[in-house]
Every structure is written in C-alpha cells, then in structure tokens.
Amino acid sequence: MAKAPILTPQAEDFPRWYQDVVAKAELADNGPARGTMVVRPYGYALWERMQAEVDQRIKAAGAENLYFPLFIPQSYFTREAEHVEGFSPELAVVTHAGGKELEEPLVVRPTSETVIGEYMGKWVQSYRDLPLLLNQWANVVRWELRPRLFLRTTEFLWQEGHTAHATAEESDAYAKQILRDVYQDFMVNVLAIPVVPGRKTAAERFAGAVNTLTVEAMMGDGKALQMGTSHDLGQNFAKVFDITYLDDQGDSQLCHTTSWGVTTRMVGGLIMAHGDDRGIVVPPALAPTQVVVLLVRDEDGAGEAAEAITRELQGVGVRARLDAQVATSFGRRATDWELKGIPVRIEVGPRDLKEGTVTLVRRDTGEKVAVPAAEAARRAEALLPAIQADLLAAATRRRDERTADVASLEEAVEAGQDGFARVPWDLVRDGGEARLAQDAITVRCLQRPDGSLPDSEDEPDLVAYVARSY
C-alpha cells in the first residue's frame, strides 16, 4: 500500500495544502475564540525575524517606536465619520467592565489613526516639531467573518506607522518612501518575494485616505496577496483632531498625515509564495535557523564532528542548530526540517565520516551532495546567498510567466483566474471594477507604463493589475 503524503499536494487542493503546512510545520493553531490564532514558537520565530528586519528599516526612515492603548473611546471614531463607516462592521466594542455598564463604550483597537491623531494634536505646536514620525508594534482586532490562519484572523499582530508633516508634498513623499525603502526592500531582499508596487483605486483605498499605496505579491496558485500598504491621509484626520502647527510666519496651519502597516499576513505570504509539497521554503536572509546539522547516529565520532561543524558555522555568524535527537528516527527528523523549510541541512553519519564526507542538502531544490567534512561549514555558508538569489529569481519567473497583458475586460477575467492581468485602466475606470467583481476579480493596483507610482488615478495611460485575491 502506498504511503499517504504528509501534505495535501498543491495541485490537488491549494487551500488544504496551506492548512496542512501551517499545522504540520508547527506554525500556528486556532485559538479558543472563533477567528483567533495561537502562534506557535516556530511561527513566532519567523515573525520575530520579520519584525526585526522591518523595524530596522523603519528606524532608518526616521520613525521612532512608542505604544498606545488597546482601548479607544468610541467617540474618537464617530468624530471621523468616513473612517468609522469603513471599519464599523469589523469593530469589537466593550460596553461593560468591572460589573458595570460603561459611560462610554470602548472600541478594541482596529487601527490607531484616531487615538494617535488626538495626541499628535497635543504634541505638535510649531513647524519645529515636524515631521513627527511614530511607529508602534501591537495587536489589533477586526471581527473577521471568514478567518484563515495568518491571512485573516480576528486578532493579529502588526506595526502601524503614523506621521505628521508640514506639507502635502512631504506626506506624499514619506508615504512613498515607506512603501519603497521599507516594505518593498524587505519583501524583495529578505522574503525573496517580487512584489508589485502600485496605487489603490478610490474603491479600494483605506477609509479616510486620499491615497493608498500597496505592494502586491503573487502566491503559488496565482492569486494576489496584499502584503503591505502605505496611506497618505491628507488633512482629513488633521481637521478632525486639530493637528495644527504654527509656521515660520506665526500662522496656524493644518498638518498632513500618513499611516502605514504590515502584519502577520506576511507569514502566510511567505508560505504560499515559496512553499512546495514538502512544506515551506524559508529564504536564508529570513530563516531563524539557516543551517541544521543533523546527526544520523552518535557513533564513531559522528557526534563530535556534528558539534564541531555547528560551532564553526555559528562562529562565522551563520544561524546554525545541531539536531542530535537520535532517539527519534533520522527520516522523521529530516522530514520535519524539510517541513519547516530550513535552507540547508548537513547530514553527519558515521558511515560517511569513514570516507571523510558529510551530505549537504539544499531545501529549495532538494539537491544532495557529498562534501569533505572539513569543508562542510564553508560550503554551507557559501550556499546561503545563492539560495536567496535563486528563490527570488524563481518567484520572479513564476510571476512573470503568469502575468498577461490583455486588451479587454473579458480577457482580464480569464487571465485573472489564476494569475495577474495587466489591462489599460481606461477600460476599467467607468464601471469596470463592478464588472470584474462579478467574477471575483479586483483591481490590485495601478501603475504607470514604466512601473512607477502614479500621483493620481486620472493620469493618462495607467495600467491596472487585476487578479483574484486572498
């Protein structure tokens, strides 16, 4: 009898494959309340690495971290009517606490534009206080009707940046800087995901924003995933929360504000962008463990050799780990590390060591080669940048092969079922979004013909990327 596969094959049922990977690679589990998520240690290790890389880039862009409360008075939301209209179906509201009905209900933070706007109004007095560049790492709650681990959960982890600027030009430039220098740079160079940057249409942009910028990624099944957004809020929130400053002439002026964020959804994107029928594939730049040294049997000096290789790797800064749990079968352990997507595996066994060799295994290609034991650490270290580059190249090739230029909405619907379609925005602009929505196709973003970000959706010759999405 044939042995049942550990994972449902992608080609057979991609959503089921995704659920299998999340469970069997020990990334997350469903929480006790509907729509919530328990992030397991390995899943959280991936998030910590993402957090560290993004945080480094945020600070390089000049923003400082701080923290705001989880509970926000409901009146803050009702003051910004467009914002609450956009979020009201997702809000979780506390009406009773301490055994009593609250005088004013509290909203469990879905995002913090309102409360941070209130304090920006207190903190900004003069043009000398600008720009005010803030960021927080936090959890948020949005009542999700169709939850899926990492992709859509009622509570999730994220960062949210909030800034205030003196002019529209400055806020526009900063929103673009975050998209380009923080999000796109991280996703391309660390996640090895070739995201498409663009401008959201008016129908798709964030509630209360004058412009929403996005980075869109193609998943393994051809669907799009919005990986991060950066919003230029204009003066909408500044008007409501009185975020004003005195200019150098002593005149009072309204600030221009931005907000921007990425979430634990990036873990889901990582799984679906690179994963295969053996599990996830983690790019070396991200991997919490870049190399695992797997002891086959602790005999004839194999244990000492495995320890020495691990120490050598760690000594040159490689995130290496020794697996000497020989009480568990070698095959089971090798399969588990493949499920977790560790970029390189070094298998150290007494039989190979008698020949002076160990086995080097690449997770992305499955290639196995025997190398001299004395060279194993150096060879593994040298493989890491090659794997990183190859993963980005492979993901770029898949995206480009499944992206079609089309000349009608009908062609866009067909191409957008399992890939991206690029269609002239003029064909979509008047009623086309509603037509595409009938077939579950959405406009993911708009670009200029050269791939740059448009300043307005009214610019001529814009290209719309359309696709099915998560």
* Residue 81 pLDDT greater than 90, yes or no: no
Write the CATH number for 314.
3.40.50.800
- Residue 2 counted as domain residue: no
305 lies in which domain range? 291-383
Q: Measured between alpha carbons, how far is residue 467 from residues 51, 216, 219, 238, 338 in Å?
A: 28, 10, 11, 35, 31
What are the pLDDT digits (tens) for 43-65? 999 999 999 999 999 999 999 99
Mean pLDDT is lowest, of 37-41, 158-162, 203-207, 310-314, for 203-207
- Residue 223 counted as domain residue: yes
State whether 21 and 80 are in the same domain: yes
Which residues lie below 8 Å from residue 21, measured CB to CB, with a gap of 6+? 7, 27, 271, 275, 279, 280, 339
- Residue 396 counted as domain residue: no
Q: Measured between alpha carbons, how far is residue 332 from residues 247, 272, 337 in Å?
A: 67, 24, 9
State whether 269 and 410 are in the same domain: no
CA 442 to chain centre: 20
State whether 46 and 105 are in the same domain: yes
Write the CATH number for 457.
3.30.110
**pLDDT at residue 153 in the model:** 97
Structural contact between residues 165 and 181, judged by C-beta atoms closer than 8 angstroms: no
- Residue 280 counted as domain residue: no
* Sequence-ordered strand ranges (E) for 267-373: 291-295, 320-323, 344-348, 357-362, 368-372
CA–CA distance, 220 with 309 (Å, rounded to integer) = 35
Q: Hey, how many other C-beta atoms are within 10 angstroms of the C-beta on 120?
A: 24
What are the pLDDT digits (tens) for 255-305? 999 999 999 999 999 999 999 999 999 999 999 999 999 999 999 999 999
* Residue 398 pLDDT greater than 60, yes or no: yes
State whether 415 and 367 are in the same domain: no
What are the pLDDT digits (tens) for 125-182? 999 999 999 999 999 999 888 899 999 999 999 999 999 999 999 999 999 999 999 9
* Residue 3 pLDDT greater than 70, yes or no: no
- Residue 279 counted as domain residue: no
State whether 301 and 342 are in the same domain: yes
Residue type (1 letter), 319: R
Task: State how many domains the chain has.
Answer: 3
- Residue 230 counted as domain residue: yes
What are the pLDDT digits (tens) for 244-267? 999 999 999 999 999 999 999 999
State whether 86 and 216 are in the same domain: yes
Q: Average pLDDT, stretch 86-104?
A: 89
Which residues lie below 8 Å from residue 50, measured CB to CB, with a gap of 6+? 186, 190, 191, 262, 266, 267, 286
Residue 2 pLDDT grade (very low, low, confident, very high; cuts 50, 70, 90): very low
Of 211, 240, 274, which residue constitutes the final position of a domain? 274
**pLDDT at residue 380 in the model:** 98
State whether 195 and 329 are in the same domain: no
What are the pLDDT digits (tens) for 105-128? 999 999 999 999 999 999 999 999
Peptide bond into 9 cis (omega under 30): no
**pLDDT at residue 343 in the model:** 98
State whether 175 and 147 are in the same domain: yes
- Residue 255 counted as domain residue: yes
Q: Which two tokens stand for residue 389?
A: 């580059």
**pLDDT at residue 1 in the model:** 39
Of 249, 274, 299, which residue constitutes the final position of a domain? 274
> What is the H or E stretch that residue 59 is in?
helix 41-60
* Residue 83 pLDDT greater than 70, yes or no: no
pTM given for the model: 0.95
Of 246, 274, 302, which residue constitutes the final position of a domain? 274
State whether 257 and 185 are in the same domain: yes
**pLDDT at residue 66 in the model:** 98
State whether 195 and 341 are in the same domain: no
State whether 142 and 264 are in the same domain: yes
What are the pLDDT digits (tens) for 400-429? 999 999 999 999 999 999 999 999 999 999
State whether 156 and 232 are in the same domain: yes
**pLDDT at residue 399 in the model:** 98
Q: Measured between alpha carbons, how far is residue 34 from residues 15, 140, 141 in Å?
A: 19, 15, 12
Residue 90 pLDDT grade (very low, low, confident, very high; cuts 50, 70, 90): confident
- Residue 283 counted as domain residue: no
Write the CATH number for 95.
3.30.930.10
The DSSP string of 91-125 is -EEEEEETTEEEEEEEEE-S--HHHHHHHHHHH--
What are the pLDDT digits (tens) for 312-365? 999 999 999 999 999 999 999 999 999 999 999 999 999 999 999 999 999 999
